Amino acid sequence: MKILVTGAAGFIGSKLMGVLASRGDEVVGIDSINNYYDVRLKYGRLSEMGIMLNDEFVWNQPIQSSRYETCRFIRMSIDDRHAMEELFEREHFEKVVNLAAQAGVRYSITNPYAYLQSNLAGFLNVLECCRHYEVKHLVFASSSSVYGLNSKVPYSEEDKVDTPVSLYAATKKSNELMAHSYSKLYGLAVTGLRFFTVYGPWGRPDMAPMLFARAISNGEQIKVFNNGNMIRDFTYIDDIVEGTIRTLDHVPVTQKSSNGVAYKIYNIGCSHPVKLMDFIHEIESAMGHEAEKIFLPMQPGDVYQTNADTSMLKREIGYEPMVTLHDGVAKFIQWYKSEKNPLK
Ligand SMILES: NC(=O)c1ccc[n+]([C@@H]2O[C@H](COP(=O)([O-])OP(=O)(O)OC[C@H]3O[C@@H](n4cnc5c(N)ncnc54)[C@H](O)[C@@H]3O)[C@@H](O)[C@H]2O)c1
């Protein structure tokens, strides 16, 4: 099967690209390699996939993976409409996984236009190309942040999600609405995945697991927001990738129960939410050091808790995340301390 993965130098996209290529799919990965965080991580993830590039690399030109015969990477932006049309015209993708986005809740407070460009204009290009070039299934990354101010837990896909507390969350909810309209108008089969706090090797340096590990290893204080009174449904990267691939293989069909639209939304989280302080203790014990902590108030845009009801994913796709926090943190810290980590 020929698959496009956008955001392929990112945390989730790079791992997904490798797993798809290793099962024999033909994969084209694209990414703008923006500098929202240290690009050494993006180059490092790509080099794990056998894709070597640097800052001088030419845009919009494919580079062959030396590790996977069926895998190529192109540095390009999903918000470049012309380049996207050329790519789809040339490649004839059967399926698309859109992970490219400006991520991060806190950054959306200070850099709102980055979200407009990648998450809205870029996503519109993805939808337009999928419908014009007859893609059989589009899977895209939504986020647990769409649950915003909801207080009923666990969060269910059937709950109303009309109270986002960050522009990031608002763009993810917008993606769900945009995708639904394309599914209804053009018969495009679409699945949105609401990811819940993903962590693991090659993770994002703007997220708590990496921030904590780095501070502990440098003997710096860790910032504990809302005085530690937060709950997160941490989900290990391998579980996210496995769930995404199983979903990609399961094309939604038009049903009366879904108003005749081939459109689905699933939560994909571990469903074992933990208190932030317990998560910190897990990192401390894997690092072998106690962190010096500074307790701070809640940050704007953050939510107190995330907690996924994944029964729909289990019922319809036959999958639920399984890696325990203890095992996942151990694997993450093992990578963090290894020579592979370019930010160590
Ligand atoms: N990691 C999580 O916990 C989490 C949780 C919820 C949702 N998500 C979503 O999952 C997706 C993947 O997240 P991630 O953690 O791998 O993030 P990431 O930032 O590591 O990866 C996203 C990649 O997209 C690229 N990108 C951004 N704008 C682009 C554009 N216009 N064109 C091409 N590439 C572009 C970036 O360079 C980056 O490499 C994102 O859509 C994110 O919003 C992630």
- Whole-angstrom Cα Rg for the chain: 19
**Run of H or E including 71:** strand 71-75
- What pLDDT, on a 0 to 100 scale, did the predictor assign at position 256? 73
Distance CA 308, CA 315 (A): 14
Mutation test residue for ligand 1: of 15, 96, 99, 191, the one with most atoms within 8 Å of CB:
99
Model confidence at 255: pLDDT above 80: no
pLDDT (tens digit per residue) in 142-169: 999 999 999 999 999 999 999 999 999 9
53 C-alpha to ligand 1 centroid (Å): 19
- What pLDDT, on a 0 to 100 scale, did the predictor assign at position 55? 67
**What contacts 12, CB < 8 A, 6 or more positions away?**
99, 141, 195, 198, 237, 240, 241, 244
141 Cβ below 6 A of ligand 1: yes
pLDDT (tens digit per residue) in 285-320: 999 999 999 999 999 989 999 999 999 999 999 999
Percent of the chain with pLDDT over 90: 94
Beta bridge partners of 194: 142, 267
**What contacts 185, CB < 8 A, 6 or more positions away?**
none
Beta bridge partners of 232: 274
**What contacts 186, CB < 8 A, 6 or more positions away?**
131
Among the listed residues 112, 152, 133, the one whose alpha carbon sits nearest the alpha carbon of residue 301: 112
For ligand 1, atom 18, name the residue with the nearest CA: 10
252 Cβ below 6 A of ligand 1: no
269 Cβ below 6 A of ligand 1: no
- C-alpha dihedral (245, 252, 273, 334), degrees to nearest 10: 10
236 C-alpha to ligand 1 centroid (Å): 16
Residue 123 half-sphere exposure, CB side, CA atoms within 13 Å?
29
Kindly tell me the burial class for residue 90, based on how many C-beta atoms sit within 10 Å of its own C-beta (0-12, 13-18, 19 or more). exposed
pLDDT (tens digit per residue) in 78-133: 999 999 999 999 999 999 999 999 999 989 999 999 999 999 999 999 999 999 99
Beta bridge partners of 222: 293
Under 8 Å between Cβ of 124 and 171: no
- What pLDDT, on a 0 to 100 scale, did the predictor assign at position 139? 99
- What pLDDT, on a 0 to 100 scale, did the predictor assign at position 260? 83
For ligand 1, atom 32, name the residue with the nearest CA: 77
12 Cβ below 6 A of ligand 1: yes
For ligand 1, atom 43, name the residue with the nearest CA: 103
279 C-alpha to ligand 1 centroid (Å): 23
**Run of H or E including 61:** none
Between the alpha carbon of residue 331 and those of residues 16, 273, 283, 336, the distances in Å are 18, 19, 11, 9
Distance CA 216, CA 284 (A): 8
Distance CA 12, CA 98 (A): 11
End-to-end CA distance of the chain: 37
Q: Reduced to 3 states, what is the DSSP secondary structure of residue 334?
A: helix
- Kindly report the pTM of this predicted structure: 0.97
42 Cβ below 6 A of ligand 1: yes
Model confidence at 214: pLDDT above 80: yes
Pairing of strands 198-199, 221-224: unpaired
Under 8 Å between Cβ of 50 and 65: yes
- C-alpha dihedral (58, 94, 8, 176), degrees to nearest 10: 120
Under 8 Å between Cβ of 193 and 261: no
249-256, Cβ contacts within 8 angstroms, sequence gap of 24 or more: 250/191, 250/316, 250/317, 251/136, 251/137, 251/189, 252/137, 252/189, 252/190, 252/191, 253/189, 254/187
288 C-alpha to ligand 1 centroid (Å): 31
255 C-alpha to ligand 1 centroid (Å): 31
5 Cβ below 6 A of ligand 1: no
126 Cβ below 6 A of ligand 1: no
118 Cβ below 6 A of ligand 1: yes
**What contacts 135, CB < 8 A, 6 or more positions away?**
88, 93, 94, 95, 96, 129, 188
Under 8 Å between Cβ of 146 and 176: yes
